[in-house]
Amino acid sequence: MKLIVDEITGGSIEARSLLRPNDSPHTYTPTPADAVAAQHALTLVYVSPELDGWIAQIGSPHRIAAMGLLPESLRLKMPEDVLMEEDGHGHGHIDPHFWPDPAAVMEVAMPLALELGRLLPEKATAFADNAQALEGKLRALDAEIKAQFAGIAHRKVAVFHPSWLYFLRRYGLEVTAIIEPSPGKELSPRSMEAIINRLKETQTRILLTEPQLARGPVQAVADAAGVPVVEIDPLGGSIGATMYEDLMRKNAAVLQKALS
Ligand SMILES: [Zn+2]
């Protein structure tokens, strides 16, 4: 969210990420200093109450839920048929991880610029212009990634945590299993067996994980199923990406290489 806000403001206002590089929004707890920072901020931009459960513990005068800006027709349902564990209340029925899809971000850019412009009317025109420029960059990025994945023969991917489903669907990759819908939950031996069978039966090519998740359980599943683990970063902290496009290009390159 910070990288997207920075593009819209052109860096003209300071945006700070409350989560540190390897924090997962699902397990993050705000420190007292974070709560103070949020309290004094012009606004707190977050994804959704389902994804950012921590939002309930923090007060801030103004908030923007980015997921609420994504047109309903573009929101993905959580694919129940490939969920290997009960999601509980972890994510809800609508998948909130929209931002790894440049086409979804393209739809959110202008509404977000308008929201921010309402808070800073003197900058509203500049924010709208920046959002328009961002749409252009995202359109080019989308075409670039589409071309990158067009010739891939192996398209079957399992994910440990469902943060890449918008991306995978956008670029024609198939999700065979979502292993751990709620981060931090233990896998039972029974679901472990079901997962291994699913990965084998579907001839899944890779298992995706993220630097924000513990590696032990991921590796155990991958080793048992004989599938390599590929790590990509939906949040960008581990890559040190300073721009959204940069983050997406780096992740897309890793994924393309793993599937080639
Ligand atoms: Zn999640």
* CA dist., res. 12 & res. 14, Å (int): 7
The structure tokens listed for 142 are 């989308």
Residue extents of the structural domains in the chain: 2-73+104-146, 151-259
Determine the pLDDT at residue 201: 96
pLDDT at 158: 97
> Ligand 1 mean position to 92 CA, how many Å?
10
CATH of 151-259 among 3.30.450.20, 3.40.50.1980, 3.40.630.30, 3.40.50.720:
3.40.50.1980
User: Helix 102-119 to helix 244-259 angle, to the nearest 10 degrees?
Assistant: 170
Contact 48, 26 (CB under 8 A): no
Distance (angstroms) between ligand 1 centre and the Cα of 215 equals 16
| pLDDT averaged per 10 residues, the chain (length 260) | 97 94 88 94 94 90 96 93 71 90 98 98 98 98 97 94 95 94 73 92 96 89 95 87 93 96
Q: How many helices, marked H, and strands, marked E, lie in the chain? A: 8, 6
Please report the pLDDT score of residue 127 as a whole number.
98
**243 Cα: distance to centroid of ligand 1 (angstroms):** 21
Number of alpha carbons in the 13 Å side-chain half-sphere of residue 204? 30
Here the tokens at position 124 are 């509203």
Q: What is the pTM for the complete model shown? A: 0.94
User: DSSP characters for 116-159?
Assistant: HHHHSGGGHHHHHHHHHHHHHHHHHHHHHHHHHHHT-S--EEEE
Give the Cα separation of 227 and 212 in Å (integer).
20
- 44-93 pLDDT tens trace: 999 999 899 999 999 888 999 999 999 999 999 988 888 887 655 467 78
Q: Do domains 2-73+104-146 and 151-259 have the same CATH topology?
A: yes
Compute the Cα dihedral for 168, 54, 218, 234 and give only its sign: positive
Q: How far is the CA of 97 from the centre of ligand 1 (A)?
A: 7
Q: How far is residue 203's CA from residue 227's CA, in Å, rounded to a whole number?
A: 9
Kindly report, residue by residue over 157-167, the tens digit of the pLDDT.
Answer: 999 999 999 99
Superfamily of domain 2-73+104-146: Nitrogenase molybdenum iron protein domain (3.40.50.1980)
Q: What three-state secondary structure class fits 167?
A: helix
Q: How far apart are CA 5 and CA 11, in angstroms?
A: 8
Q: What is the CA(1)–ligand 1 centre distance, in A?
A: 14
- Distance from the alpha carbon of residue 69 to the mean position of ligand 1, in angstroms: 18
Rounded to whole angstroms, the Cα distance separating 15 from 3 reads 9
Kindly give the distance from the C-alpha atom of residue 183 to the centroid of ligand 1, in angstroms, as a whole number.
Answer: 7
pLDDT at 89: 46
Which pLDDT does position 90 carry in this prediction?
Answer: 65
